[in-house]
Each structure stands twice: as C-alpha cells, then as structure tokens.
Structure 1
Amino acid sequence: MSNRSVTAGVALAGVMAHCGGSPVRAVEYLVGAIASAPAAPEPYAALAELWRERRSELKEGLEGDGSLSTVPAQAYFLFLDGDMDDAVMTLGSVTGVRPDVAWGAAPWFGDAGLLGAVSAQALAEACLRTLDYGRVLDSDEMRERFAPWFHALDVVSERSPVPESLASMARLPRACGRHDLAFALCDRADAVDRVMWTEVTRAGTWRAMGDLDQAATAFIRALALEPDNWSLHLDLADLRAEQGDFAAAVSHAEQGLAHASDEVSLRAARAAYRARLTGSSDNLRDLIALAPELTNTSYRDLLIDYACAGPGLPGTLVAEARRTRES
C-alpha cells in the first residue's frame, strides 16, 4: 500500500506541477507520499526537481504556511539550500506533531553532510520540539521510528560535545525509554565540563526509571554546582514529598525561598508540605490563597492533594481547598 501511495502521490504531483496546476498543491501530494513511506527516495527527488524549477513560486506560495501538509517539504528545501540547522529544527517540529510517522527516516536526515554540519544547539532544539506535545514515546514502535534520531545524537554529540546541548538532547531518548543513551549523552557532556543541566537531566532520567534516591543524589550534585538556583531546591522539595519525607520537603522549599522569596511556586510548595506535615490550617489557607497564581494546574492540584491529607485538618477547609481545583 505504501509503494502504491508513493507512486500515486508522485504522479499526481507531476500533473499539478507540469500541467498548469499549483506547485504548492504538488508539494502537498509529495508530503502525503512521504508520510506513507518516509524512507522512499522518489518523493524527495520530485521535490528537489520542483525546488530547482519553481523555487520563486514555491517560496511565495509556502510563505507563512505552517501546515503539516507542507512543512516536511520545507524542511527538505532548507536542507537543499544548505541550511542544516533550520532543516533539522523544522523536522523536529513536524515530528512533535506527528511522531507516529517516521519522518527521521528521510534519506536526507541521515546524510553525512547534514550530520557533519548541523550544530549541537540546533539538534538539541529539534529534540525538544519533538517533545512539545507530550506524546507518549516509550514503546518499541516509537523507538524504531526514532532510530535515525538516536544515530544523529550519537554522531553530533561526539563531534560537538556542548554540555548544555547534550543535556537537552538526552531528553528525547529518555522520553523514548532509551535511558542508556540519555545517560551516555550526560557522561559525554561531563567529559567536557560538569554543568548543572547535565545533573538535572540525570535526575529526570533516574526519576523516569523510578529510582528516586538516585534522582535526589543527582539533584544534590546539581545544587553543588549552582547552590543559589531556587528551582533546584523546589525540584528536591517535590522529590522528597514524592518519597513521603515532608520534613525534608519543607526544608528544601524554605532553602529555595532564601534565594527567591517572592517565587509563588516555592511559597505554595512550602504551604502545602507544611500542611501535610503538621496539619496546619493556616498553611492550608495560605495554599488556597496562592492556588490561583499557579499557572501549572496539574502541579497546583498535586499540592492541594498533599496538603489536604494533613493530619486533623477541618473538613470544611479541606472541602474549600478541593474546590480550588475546579476554578
């Protein structure tokens, strides 16, 4: 079916391109053919011919077009023009929207010229874009689809081991359940320089694996590198709460507030964890007052759940706190 789809798509694109039709419509047919068989070379050959012959019309017709029906072709056009960074980042955006298609199997994405020229920063940004929509990627099918991405990460990280970029790259294999590759990228970054983001990435990977003790150890190493980073104190507070150690959770939230006294997420976390630890009605009221300021509603709801489980809290106050989840 895929081969027939490719043949039909290329044929229809030829009609649209050469018989008075629209070159943009031809691109759409070719993108459809690519989606059915991303590794097939024929649609890319047709796109390259279109780009050579109808470049000005295509540039005008595609300007501002961010639809999935044309963006994979635009990524390829950027590659043809030698703009490897934008080509890879554009493909990352496409992949984030439709990870069920193996867009990375495109012959150009594995091209040695691209992998030798794309910057580590651009590949890292592309990896983050693949995660923009929160799709579930931890499956054998997804790991197979992302195999070309894993190869690109290996090649580019070895050629250009920029620690911060490698830490960002590692989030993609982590999301796919390739924890070995995530850790390998962190180790490669450490060989150049130890930075906070690498330890944060390690912590997130251990957390994804369910090892909260190792995650806490990594966060502590990150704090040693940036002791005044309030968000790391919040990460540790949340992790300790997940472990059931609410005294430590309160302590880390308070340490974070020493560096960012007005940070609402820290104030809310401290109130929630104090309420959970001590059953303090005042702390639960503080959390209720702060809840509307928390833009991350899932985090807000988690804090409310923790706080409402505090010992001896009045039922009416607990009910009021739970109502904030609905506002």
Structure 2
Amino acid sequence: MSNQSVTAGVALAGVMAHCGGSPVGAVKFLVGAIASAPAAPEPHAALAELWRDRRSELKEGLEGDGSLSAVLAQAYFLFLDGDMDDAVMSLGSVTGARPDVAWGTAPWFGDARFLGAVSAEALAEACLRTLDYGHNLDTDEMRERFTPWFHAIDVVSERSPVPESLAAMARLPRACGRYELAFALCDRGDAVDRVMWTAVARASTWRAMGDLDQAAASFEAALALDPANWSLYLDLADVRAEQGDFAAAVGLVEQGLQHEPREVSLRAAGTAYRTRLSGSSDDLRALIVLAPELASTSYRDLLIDYACAGPGLPHGLVAEARRICEN
C-alpha cells in the first residue's frame, strides 16, 4: 500500500471512530491498512490513539472476537500494555493464518522494549503457532517475510537460552529452510544443558535436509537421554524404514511397545514394517484394521505403501489396503 493509501485508510478509520461512533469498525479499517503495509507507522499510531481514548468500548467490542483483524489489533494493544508474551503469541496466531503478509515488520515487533521483555517460552509458542496451518514456508519470499522473526529468535535465544524453548523455536527456521539457524539454536541450548528436545530438533533438521544417517544418530542421542520415550523409538524406526532397513525398524517398534503397548501408531508401524519385511498377510490385515485409527492420513498412507510392497502378498489384500488411502 502506498503512503497515500495508508493515509486514506487512517482517515476513514478516524471518521468511523469519531463520526460514525464505531471504534471496532475503525479497528477493521486500520488492520486492513496494516495488512497492506505492515511496516507503516501511521495505522499503528492511530490504533494506539484509539486504545488510549476508547479502551473500554474496544475491550467490550473485541471480547471473544477471534477474527484475524481482532487478534492482530489485540496483539498491538497487549504490546502497548506491556504484555509482551501474550502479544507475541497473538501475532504468531495471525501469522500462522496469513503467512503471506509480513506481519513481523510491524514497528513494535522489532522494538527494543519488546525484544528485551518477551520470554523465550512465549516466543517459542508463537513460533509453533506460525506453523499451525501447514503452509509451505520454504521459499525465498517466505524467508524474507520471516526475517523479523529470525531476528527476534536470535536476540531472545541469546538473552534467555532455555534449551526446551530453543528447540521449539528451531521448528520455524527449519520450516523456512533456514537450517543453519535451527542448528545454531540447538548448539546454544546444548551449551546450557543437553536435553532430549534439543536432540530431537537436531534430528528433525537433519531429516528435513535428507541426511538420514545424521538424523538417526541424533534420534539415538535423544533416546540415550530419554530411553523410556516410546515416540523416539517410532521416530528412529521411521528413519530406518526410510533407509530401507526394515529389520531394524521392526526391532525399534518392538522396543517402543515395551513402554507403550497400546499406542496405535506403534502398533500400526509394527504391522507395516513386518509386512514389508516378510510379506505377512496376517500383518497386512492387522494394518487394515488399525489404519483408520491413525490421526495422520499422510503417515497412514506411508505405512500402507511400505506394507503393500511386501513380498508375495495376495493382490486382493493389497487392493483392499490401497482403498484405505482413497478415503
């Protein structure tokens, strides 16, 4: 949006707030201006004035409103009130819904007051919220839009290097293809304390890069730190399966089942990997029963693909399994 358009949007908001008597309507005009030019200071200044002059009306009008415009405005109002943690988490929710807008270029997001006060835990949660909708962030355009987020991550992680929070933060740069930043966060966390979540973050980054050997080594490091964690056995089993070592995958799933014998994802993976290894019709039938219980359809379909490649399976049974992927 040009400066002229921003000025027009702010003027319309002023008319709505004062002549039209609708501060909530004015907020929508100002958020529209911010969406078109997130770095422009004028809409933020107008929002700050509204918050100062019409706070009670805005609180009442925006209460319970989960729309993007309401959440974005509330993020800024929280910043103005000094609640940096809730401000960043609200901005994370907006960014997750609309990552095509460079919301992080808003003047307050790079403000020293914000960067000096927001907690590592809240920034980590905000980073996770940016990923909630599964948008593809691994493009040059997205990396450019998320530059302010990377700066915030760097500043806050250095100021407050909480290993678990740094591991969570690493998911955002990893999703954007900024692998060097993801690894740097892992290293920064390890310098404070070696925890399982950091090893998992490192493993997931290696896996995203396609280096399965390094991913497996990092998952093994995570298991050494938390040997009773069933999900780590499944993670490592999945990597071994991706490497084509289905015997190792089966063995790892069996170890995981010792810790959580009823976990459906472990049971389904075990049947799939045994079917791929030995061509067991009984195991494929068991997978057909378990598959609808899996929460992730993509993981379900991957397991079925593995299983249906098992040797000597009846064509009719394979066709039955394949039909599950069509639903």
Question: Displacement, 1:240?
Answer: 0.8
**Alignment map for 1:199-238 (pairs within 5 Å):** 199-238=199-238
**Paired position in structure 1 for 2:118:** 118
Aligned counterpart, 1:307:
307
Alpha carbons 1:23, 1:54 under 8 Å: kept: yes
Aligned residue pairs total: 327
Q: Tell me the distance in 2 between the aligned counterparts of 1:56 and 1:192.
A: 44
CA contact (8 A) 1:5 1:36 kept: no
3-state secondary structure, aligned to 1:79: helix
SS in 1 for 2:96: helix
Tell me the residue number matched to 2:259: 259
Instruction: Please state how far the C-alpha of 1:268 moved relative to its aligned partner.
Output: 0.7
Per-residue deviation at 1:295? 1.9
The residue aligned with 2:50 is 50
Q: Secondary structure at the match of 1:192?
A: coil
Q: Unpaired segments of 5 or more residues in structure 1?
A: none
TM-score, normalised to structure 1's length? 0.98
1:1-80 mapped onto 2 (5 Å cutoff): 1-80=1-80
Correspondence list, 1:164-313, <5 A: 164-313=164-313
- How far off is 1:326 after superposition? 3.4
Q: Is the 8 A contact 1:75 1:86 kept in 2?
A: yes
Q: Does the Cα contact within 8 Å between 1:127 and 1:172 map onto a contact in 2?
A: yes
Aligned partners of 1:153, 1:2: CA distance in 2, in Å? 30
Amino acid at match of 2:78: L
Name the counterpart of 1:319.
Answer: 319
Q: Please give the residue correspondences for 1:68-147 in structure 2 after superposition, counting only pairs within 5 Å.
A: 68-147=68-147
Which contiguous aligned blocks of 4+ residues in structure 1 show a shift greater than 3 angstroms? none
**CA distances 1:275-324 after superposition (whole Å, capped 9, x unpaired):** 00011111111111211221211111111111011000011111111122
The Cα of 1:2 is off from its aligned counterpart by 2.9
Structure 2 unaligned residues grouped into runs of 5+:
none
TM-score by length of 2: 0.98
CA deviations 1:124-181 (Å, max 9, x no partner) are 0000000000111111111111111111001100111100000000100111111010
AA at the equivalent of 1:61: G
Q: Residue type of the partner of 1:192? A: V
d(CA) in 2 for partners of 1:200 and 1:20? 54
Q: Distance in 2 between matches of 1:107 and 1:58?
A: 22
Aligned equivalents of 2:223, 2:233: Cα separation in 1: 8
